[in-house]
Homo-oligomer: A and B are copies of this chain.
Amino acid sequence: MEIETKGLTAAIRCFALAAAVAIPVAAAEPLASWNDTQPKQTIVGFIEKVTNRGSGDFVPEPERIAVFDNDGTLWSEQPLYFQALYAFDRVKATASEHPEWKDTEPFASVLKGDMQGALAGGEAALLKLVMASHAGMTTDEFNEVVSAWIATAKHPTTGKAYTEMVYQPMLELLDYLRANGFKTFIVSGGGIEFMRVFTEKVYGVPPEQVVGSTIKTQFEMRDGKPVLVKLPEIDFIDDKEGKPVGINRFIGRRPIAAFGNSDGDLQMLQWTAAGEGARLCLYVHHTDGDREWAYDRESHVGQLDKGLDEANKQGWVVVDMKADWKTIFPEKP
Which residues of A pack against B, CB within 8 Å?
Answer: 6, 9, 13, 16-17, 19-20, 60-63, 65, 139, 183, 185, 192-193, 196, 200, 206-210, 214, 217-219, 221, 225-226, 228, 241-242, 244-245, 248-253, 267, 270-271, 274, 276
Contacts and interface: CB of A to CB of B under 8 A. Distances in A.
A253 B63 contact: no
Nearest to A227: B274
Nearest to A63: B16
A20 B62 CA distance: 7
A206 to B, nearest CB: 6
B217 A245 contact: yes
A208 B254 CA distance: 11
A210 B63 CA distance: 15
Contact of A228 (B200, B244, B253): B244
Given A6-B276, A219-B241, 18 more contacts: A9-B276, A19-B62, A139-B248, A183-B208, A192-B249, A192-B252, A193-B252, A208-B209, A217-B248, A217-B249, A219-B245, A219-B267, A226-B244, A226-B270, A226-B274, A228-B244, A228-B245, A228-B271
Nearest to A211: B250
A74 to B, nearest CB: 17
Contacts of A219: 241-242, 244-245, 267, 271
**This chain's copy number in the assembly:** 2
Contacts of A192: 249, 252
15 contacts: A6-B276, A16-B62, A19-B62, A62-B200, A196-B252, A208-B208, A208-B250, A217-B249, A218-B241, A219-B242, A219-B245, A219-B267, A221-B270, A226-B270, A250-B250
Q: Which of A65, A196, A244 has the most CB of B within 10 A?
A: A244
A264 B74 CA distance: 39
A253 B20 contact: no
Contacts of A221: 270
A265 to B, nearest CB: 13
A63 B10 CA distance: 12
A253 B60 contact: no
A228 to B, nearest CB: 5
